């Protein structure tokens, strides 16, 4: 792991994510980029941003945006100094853009290995219609995304839940899961949530999980079949029962109508649990 991206909105959760990223960087030697994106106003087709200059906007708009950028850079400097870095390389970037677009471009252009983001979660109509920027990153990022809510000054997960249906397509994510487990020397709890709508016998499921563990050379793991009404509830209840420090899941990265119709258990977990969630998009 060489590069970690930490998008920040200066919230408490985003600061917690930065602290977790520093903990990971200490273990891996990775460099961190702290990124804050000022939401780009729309001034029509001729409007563009070059560095800190607003092209196509009027004088008052330019003054407002330049003052906003100046204030934002001061907050970024404050955030940089709020966490003891111990020699970890951290660079900062403040820019004007659409947040999700800039984050996706940065992941590609900087060859980012991991995104660490704070998540406030959302609920009700807001969750259904829009979701958060964190959800959008989880859905579309080409690299693993770790979402954080609570403060963890020394991030060192020891009990990690790997929740999946363990079908063949998970192979594209398994190496990422293994690397994260090995990074912390954690115990991996493979769990299949058995629901009434897709019920299978425990013996068949245990055979499937054991086959998966052997196929991918997993070590220090347990195999678990957990019965619950819904998959998301089952994952949360199981994680609570074993006092898990982190949950890992693969996501299909669906967008548009497909996402609206099918939803995403991974995104729901990001919204509804205080436990850090690592998501990896299936290729």
User: Phi/psi at 89 (nearest 5 deg)?
Assistant: -75, 125
Nearest to 107 by CA among 69, 145, 158: 145
Nearest to 193 by CA among 231, 246, 149: 231
Structure-block tokens of residue 243: 């006092």
The domain 3-148 is placed in CATH, from the list 3.40.50.720, 3.40.50.300, 3.30.43.10, 3.40.50.620, at 3.40.50.620
pLDDT at 262: 36
DSSP letter for 40, please.
P
* pTM for the model: 0.86
pLDDT at 42: 53
What is the C-alpha to C-alpha distance for residues 222 and 241, in angstroms, rounded to an integer? 14
Paired residues of 221 in beta bridges: 188
CATH topology of domain 159-281: Rossmann fold (3.40.50)
pLDDT at 207: 95
What is the C-alpha to C-alpha distance for residues 19 and 116, in angstroms, rounded to an integer? 10
3-148 and 159-281, same CATH topology: yes
Rounded average pLDDT per 10-residue block, the chain, 283 residues: 94 93 96 89 45 54 77 89 88 90 95 93 41 78 93 93 85 91 97 91 94 95 96 94 95 50 68 91 79
* Torsion angle, alpha carbons of 57, 58, 60, 63, to 10: 50
pLDDT at 228: 95
CB 34 within 8 A of CB 92: yes
- The domain locations on the chain are 3-148, 159-281
Q: With left for phi above 0 and alpha for psi between -120 and 50, is residue 208 left, alpha or beta? A: alpha
pLDDT at 254: 52
Structure-block tokens of residue 206: 């245990």
pLDDT at 127: 36
pLDDT at 55: 47
């Amino acid at each position: 792991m060489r590069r970690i991206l930490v998008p920040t909105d200066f919230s408490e959760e985003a600061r917690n994510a930065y602290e977790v990223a520093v903990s990971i960087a200490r273990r891996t030697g990775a460099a961190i980029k702290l990124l804050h994106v000022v939401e780009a106003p729309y001034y029509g087709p001729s409007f563009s941003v070059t560095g800190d200059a607003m092209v196509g906007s009027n004088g008052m708009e330019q003054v407002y945006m330049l003052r906003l950028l100046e204030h934002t850079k001061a907050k970024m400097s404050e955030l940089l100094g709020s966490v003891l870095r111990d020699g970890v390389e951290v660079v900062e970037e403040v820019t004007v853009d659409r947040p999700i677009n800039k984050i996706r471009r940065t992941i590609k252009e900087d060859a980012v290995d991991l995104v660490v983001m704070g998540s406030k979660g959302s609920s009700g109509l807001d969750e259904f219609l829009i979701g958060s920027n964190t959800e959008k990153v989880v859905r579309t990022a080409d690299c693993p995304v770790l979402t954080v809510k609570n403060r963890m000054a020394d991030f060192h997960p020891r009990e990690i839940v790997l929740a999946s249906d363990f079908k063949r397509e998970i192979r594209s994510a398994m190496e990422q899961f293994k690397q994260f487990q090995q990074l912390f020397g954690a115990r991996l709890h493979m769990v299949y949530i058995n629901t009434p709508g897709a019920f299978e016998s425990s013996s068949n499921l245990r055979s499937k999980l054991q086959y998966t563990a052997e196929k991918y050379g997993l070590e220090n793991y347990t195999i678990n079949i957990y019965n619950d009404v819904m998959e998301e509830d089952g994952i949360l209840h199981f994680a609570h029962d074993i006092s898990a420090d982190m949950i890992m899941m693969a996501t299909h990265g669906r967008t548009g109508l497909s996402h609206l119709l099918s939803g995403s258990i991974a995104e729901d977990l990001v919204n509804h649990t205080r436990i850090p969630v690592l998501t990896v998009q299936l290729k």
